[in-house]
């Protein structure tokens, strides 16, 4: 029997194949042994030429950034042929998923239709996984066929980087990924963590905070608060141990530390400078430089890197910095590739790896490309970060927040926060207003991407 996912996938392909003239759906593309190797690039059939004179922009990755790029491109140049290639059949939001984890919102609130987004905004949704790109011939290779482009935007997000923990031990990495998922990428991981929380009986539940510019700085602290709140509310004798690789809480420090101390005194143990040195999964123990921690269950969030697709396509910095896209930080253009751009968490700049930042950056990247096509001059505009974090869901959702732009520091040649402000008061009315702000923010973002 065909399920909803299969139907969406078919619908996506049908939409695409009726509209994408430059895309062939190969019948044998799902069988790797039959894949033709063309110029060292794995692909399916030879691409069909693009039809007509319209310029085509192909956007890879329908997340917070790619959706924003695709929509804005059509706003800037309505006549443009825009194709969004996304491997998932439907969108499930990472932001707000911590609230869903503890039953404070329904899954419907997180789930949105790519087909609606494409129809509402006049672009094409192509449900496929990108394997590679022929940069010279301007062809994208997917498991469903090939797509020609004039301009290409890569917005595939992040990948986990377990190396610092596993040091090449693939069995350990496999077990960490499958049994103790980080929950900062796919909805399957969120589902697994939700089941862990709901079935938790007693003992320590470990969550980790990675070093580096990891995705969603407040996310692990928010999750720790909400899991602790769930234990407290349901009389579960559990402690959430936060092993933080950093010397202190990385963002909204006052708001989170007061919540740990006042709301979750008996439920949260916060440990800074706690980089895990070794795992003993059989005996459910981890060791940091200073201590050993036993756990009943856990969600281990490793360091992150740019999605491996950028490496496969050959737009990563170099063999050492292969987890960083090689782009101009002001134009988002891949260095030496005038027709390829990167957007969202895949970027190497030290912006917050957040949905709001990636979405606002999508507006910027779309404008840069539109101006290139129209032959207009462009000026750099800062992306914007608005980030709410819930610290409790009962009696009502209470949240804290941060707002910031970015500015270029000429001395150290890097971006830093500018015009930053925080609201870290979660007690009483302020927190409840923050909670309302959080839900309104999410609704606004979903409208921006899907309507």
Ligand X SMILES: Cc1cc2nc3c(=O)[nH]c(=O)nc-3n(C[C@H](O)[C@H](O)[C@H](O)COP(=O)(O)OP(=O)(O)OC[C@H]3O[C@@H](n4cnc5c(N)ncnc54)[C@H](O)[C@@H]3O)c2cc1C
| Contacts with ligand X, residue ranges (CB under 6 A) | 60-66, 85-88, 94-95, 97-98, 129-130, 155-157, 183-184, 215-216, 219, 307, 309, 344-346, 353-356, 358, 387-388
Residue 307, preceding peptide bond in cis (omega within 30° of 0): no
Least Å distance between CB 280 and ligand X? Answer: 27
Count CA atoms within 13 Å of residue 389 on its CB side: 28
Closest listed residue to residue 446, CA positions, set 381, 352, 356, 344: 356
Q: Where are the alpha helices (DSSP H) in 149-235?
A: 163-166, 170-179, 187-198, 219-233
Nearer to ligand X, 92 or 172 (CB): 92
User: Taking a C-beta distance cutoff of 8 angstroms, is the pair 225, 262 a contact?
Assistant: no
Give, for 437, the enclosing helix (H) or strand (E). Answer: helix 428-450
CB of 410 to ligand X, least distance (A): 27
Shortest separation between residue 294's beta carbon and ligand X, angstroms? 25
> Cα separation of 356 and 334, whole Å?
22
**Could you tell me which residues are beta bridge partners of residue 240?**
205, 268
- In the complex, the smallest distance separating the C-beta of residue 26 from ligand X, rounded to whole angstroms, is 16
Rounded to an integer, what distance in angstroms lies between the CA atom of residue 382 and that of residue 65?
15
Partners of 416 in beta bridges: 407
Instruction: Give the full edge-to-edge strand order of the sheet including 139-142.
Output: 130-134, 139-142, 145-148
The nearer residue to ligand X, 55 or 93, going by C-beta atoms, is 93
Between 387 and 400, name the residue whose CB sits nearer to ligand X: 387
CB 118 within 8 A of CB 124: yes
Work out how close the CB of 183 gets to ligand X at its nearest, in angstroms, rounded to a whole number. 6
CB of 24 to ligand X, least distance (A): 17
Question: Shortest distance, CB of residue 353 to ligand X, whole angstroms?
Answer: 5
Nearer to ligand X among residue 374 and residue 418 (C-beta): 418
Q: Which is closer to ligand X, CB of 219 or CB of 348? A: 219
- In the complex, least distance from residue 22 CB atom to ligand X, rounded to whole angstroms: 17
Q: Which H helix or E strand runs over 136?
A: none
Work out how close the CB of 449 gets to ligand X at its nearest, in angstroms, rounded to a whole number: 10
Q: For the stretch 74-91, what's the b/e string if a residue is b when 16 or more beta carbons lie within 10 angstroms of its beta carbon?
A: bebbeebbbbbbbebbbb
As given in the structure block, the two tokens for residue 256 are 């989170």
Those residues whose C-beta lies under 8 Å from the C-beta of residue 108, and which sit 6 or more positions away, are: none
Q: How far is the CB of 142 from ligand X (least distance, A)?
A: 7
Helix axes 114-121, 66-76, angle to 10 degrees: 10
**Which residue's C-beta sits nearest to ligand X?**
63
Of the pair 165, 441, the CB lying nearest ligand X is at 441
Q: Are 155 and 340 in contact (CB under 8 A)?
A: no
Residue (of 132, 142, 221) closest to 184 by Cα position: 221
In three-state secondary structure terms, 223 is helix
Q: Find the shortest distance in angstroms from Cβ 75 to ligand X.
A: 18
**Nearest CB to ligand X, comparing residues 130 and 276:** 130
Question: What are residue 127's DSSP bridge partners?
Answer: 86
For ligand X, which is the closer residue by CB, 29 or 354?
354
Cα 423 from Cα 410, distance rounded (Å): 29
Give whichever of 117 and 274 is closer to ligand X, judged by the CB atom.
Answer: 117
Beta bridge partners of 292: 287
Output 130 or 209, the one with its CB closest to ligand X.
130
Phi first, then psi, for residue 78 (nearest 5°) are -55, -30
Q: Pick between residue 160 and residue 293 the one whose CB is nearest to ligand X.
A: 160
Cis peptide before 198, with omega less than 30 degrees from 0? no
């Amino acid at each position: 029997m065909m399920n909803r996912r299969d139907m969406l996938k078919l619908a996506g392909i049908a939409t695409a194949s009726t509209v994408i003239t430059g895309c062939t759906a190969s019948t044998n593309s799902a069988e790797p042994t039959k894949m033709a190797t063309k110029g060292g690039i794995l692909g399916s059939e030879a691409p069909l030429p693009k039809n007509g004179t319209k310029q085509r922009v192909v956007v890879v990755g329908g997340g917070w950034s790619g959706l924003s790029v695709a929509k804005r491109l059509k706003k800037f140049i309505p006549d443009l042929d825009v194709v969004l290639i996304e491997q998932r059949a439907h969108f499930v939001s990472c932001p707000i998923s911590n609230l869903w984890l503890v039953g404070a919102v329904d899954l419907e609130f997180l789930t949105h239709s790519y087909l609606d987004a494409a129809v509402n905004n006049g672009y094409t949704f192509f449900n496929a996984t990108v394997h590679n790109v022929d940069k010279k011939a301007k062809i994208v290779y997917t498991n469903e066929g090939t797509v020609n482009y004039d301009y290409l935007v890569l917005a595939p997000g992040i990948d986990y980087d377990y190396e610092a923990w596993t040091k090449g031990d693939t069995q350990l990495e496999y077990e960490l990924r499958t049994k103790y998922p980080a929950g900062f990428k796919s909805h399957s991981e969120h589902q697994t963590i939700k089941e862990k929380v709901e079935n938790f009986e007693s003992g320590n539940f470990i969550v980790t905070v990675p070093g580096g510019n990891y995705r969603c700085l407040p996310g692990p602290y928010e999750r720790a608060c909400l899991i602790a709140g769930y234990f407290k509310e349901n009389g579960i004798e559990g402690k959430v141990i936060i092993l933080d690789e950093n010397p202190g809480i990385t963002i909204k420090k006052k708001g989170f530390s007061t919540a740990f101390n006042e709301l979750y005194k008996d439920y949260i143990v916060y440990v800074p400078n706690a980089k895990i040195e070794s795992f003993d999964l059989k005996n459910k123990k981890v060791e940091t430089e200073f201590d050993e921690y036993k756990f009943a269950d856990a969600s281990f969030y490793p360091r992150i890197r740019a999605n491996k697709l950028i490496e496969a396509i050959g737009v990563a910095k170099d063999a050492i910095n292969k987890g960083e896209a090689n782009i101009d930080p002001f134009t988002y253009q891949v260095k030496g590739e005038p027709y390829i751009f990167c957007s969202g968490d895949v970027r190497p700049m030290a912006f917050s790896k957040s949905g709001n930042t990636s979405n606002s950056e999508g507006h910027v990247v779309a404008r840069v490309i539109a101006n290139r096509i129209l032959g207009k001059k462009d000026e750099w505009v800062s992306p914007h970060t608005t980030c709410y974090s819930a610290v409790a869901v009962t009696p009502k959702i209470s949240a804290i927040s941060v707002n910031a732009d970015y500015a270029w520091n000429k001395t150290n040649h890097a971006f830093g926060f500018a015009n930053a402000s925080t609201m870290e008061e979660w007690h009483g009315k302020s927190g409840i207003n923050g909670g309302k702000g959080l839900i309104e923010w999410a609704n606004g973002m979903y409208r921006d991407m899907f309507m």
